[in-house]
Amino acid sequence: MGTQQLLDAFQRSYGSFESYPSNLLHQTCHIGTLQAYITRLDNAAAKLFTKTTPDVVFRDFDPTRQGFSDEKVIDDSKLKDWLGNLGVVNPGPSTGIARTEDPKCRFIFIWAKHSRTYLNITRKMLVRILSFHQVMPSYLDFIFLFGSQSEPRDLRYSGFRAQMLLVDPSQRLAVPSSGRSGRQFQISYNLKCVTCKTSASFRAIQSQEWSIRQAAFHHQFDIVDGTTLWIVTRGGLDIRGSIEDLTGPNGRPEHRAFRTVEECFKSSLAVHLLYSQWSTADWRGYLQWLEDFTYQETKIAILGPRGPNQARKEYELQDLQKVQDYEDKTNEAIMILETNAHVLNSLRKFYESLVKSKDFPPGRHCREDVSAFSTQVNEMIYDSRMHIVRAKLLVQIVADRMTLISQHLQSQATQKMEQLTLSMHDIGFQAQKEAVAMRVITVVTLFYLPATFVSTFFSTDIVKYQNSGDLTASFSVTAMVRWLQVTIPLTVLTGGVAFWWFASVDKKRGVEWQLVNAIRAEIGHS
């Protein structure tokens, strides 16, 4: 394919940048997948891209100064001018754009004020950048994790994507006027770190606030010209500061050397190490905070007094909820550490296989550098796995403490039920005292009831007063004997039945009080 044909192909692709990723020159996805990316990009646009002034930061290597220069791009027009138009070889007056070459090394920082707000870029600017540099569409998967959101979204999503075009058939991507040979590799991945949001002056465990944050990285490297591209998407500009330290005047000279392909390749390894170190920092402090908080919240469950007449902590459901929340945080940390380790391992394996490829010319000169790179990445993976072991042990400890707190909650509920039962028996005892007086009345009534009944029945024959004026009276012995014969047995029978009834009730109540006394004794011993 001739030079002009290559330029025309790139011009057509870049000219239809708003249809990204369908406009890419090298397609590895079928049309349905590409259309799905466009649909997802349209659906996410409202929450993903800024509604105010954009702010995209470029950091390009300037060969005339042998250093980097930074540029803030605040709209699409300025972005178009900054990128140039590589498809125009001999610009005429109508184009207004001079032919440019890609810088030997370019960093593009797509950022937001924090990790849960809009990216400071518009949709049009994003697809223009991705089309201009022919970025593989899988990088969108990592960008979709950002944007406006009330809670962190898709923290469990991580990945590593690679595309290798090391042989001549990839020359359809070549743009000779820009220094693009078409033989290149691309990798995209994301990593997560943890950061303490509170000032170091807050030493109280309860006052500390930690946040898990993520960043998405894209890297392209031309294996013939050494042209290097980095795109960093992050909620903040902290990584930009680290890149400036690495590639600035105070950095090591080999990290900003781009004279040869080998030097460009070695400097790219240093950037990968910086990203890797960023993802592994502060995890030790975060796990220590989780351990300290768990100990502070649960130590009373083990060491606190639980004996009789001792002051004890009264647990509530919110205590269990709080510990459960920190168990979830620990499990989340384990998951993120594992995904970070997998991504770093994929990165290491990619470069180890790359330098062994016969289609990678700098390979034989950079094997020692890749070996040193792999050693450092392995150390970070090892540290991550040690953190995972530590976090898994913490999860087990938290689970045991939660079980103990649950048992304390159940014990407290049982004690409250016992106390309620005893109070109800006390109320019954008071009612029994009041019933004693009623029993006396009942006994007296029962004693006099037979005589009263019999007297009433025989009232006409026992004593009979005459209505005569001399007040004489007649007495019947027979009637008196009959009255006694009926009254005394009836009184004895009534009293016996009453005695038997009261005795059975007292016996039943005595059994109940024995049970109550046993409960009180058990509570006293506990």
Q: Count CB-CB contacts under 10 A for residue 420.
A: 10
Structure pTM? Answer: 0.78
Tokens of 16: 């239809």
Per DSSP, which regions of 313-462 are E strands?
none
At 250, is the secondary structure helix, strand, or coil? coil
Would the CA dihedral through 433, 438, 441, 445 be positive or negative? negative
103 to 201, 233, 241, 243: CA distances (angstroms): 44, 20, 20, 16
Summarize the confidence of residues 461-479 as an average pLDDT.
59
- Out of 37-41, 115-119, 147-151, 362-366, the most confident range is 37-41
Is pLDDT at 170 greater than 60 in this prediction?
A: no
Residue 207 pLDDT grade (very low, low, confident, very high; cuts 50, 70, 90): confident
- Dist CA 121 CA 49 (whole Å): 6
Given a cut of 70, whether residue 176 has pLDDT beyond it is yes
Average pLDDT over residues 323-342: 92
Model confidence at 459: pLDDT above 90: no
Rg of the chain, C-alpha, whole Å: 45
Contact partners, residue 84, CB within 8 Å, separation at least 6: 97, 98, 99, 100
**Phi and psi, residue 216, nearest 5°:** -115, 130
Please state, in angstroms and as integers, the Cα–Cα distance from residue 9 to each residue in 171, 176, 293, 305, following that order.
Answer: 11, 12, 60, 80
The per-residue pLDDT for range 211-242, each reduced to its tens digit, is 899 999 999 999 999 999 999 999 989 999 99
Using DSSP bridges, classify how beta strands 105-111 and 228-234 pair: parallel, antiparallel or unpaired: parallel
Nearest to 261, CA basis, from 223, 207, 209: 223
pLDDT at 105: 94
Asked whether the beta carbons of 215 and 278 are under 8 A apart, the reply is: yes
Nearest to 415 by CA among 522, 305, 302, 318: 522
Place of tokens 């192909």: 9
Average pLDDT, integer, range 458-484 = 62
Residue 525 near residue 418, CB atoms below 8 Å? no
Per-residue pLDDT tens for 433-444? 666 667 667 776
Q: Which of 257, 256, 230, 232 is nearest to 245 (CA)?
A: 256
- The rounded distance, in Å, linking the Cα atoms of 133 and 429 is 90
Largest CA distance in the chain: 164
pLDDT value at residue 156:
84
For residue 98, pLDDT over 50 is answered with: no
CA 89 to chain centre: 53
Q: Measured between alpha carbons, how far is 84 from 110 in angstroms, rounded to an integer?
A: 19
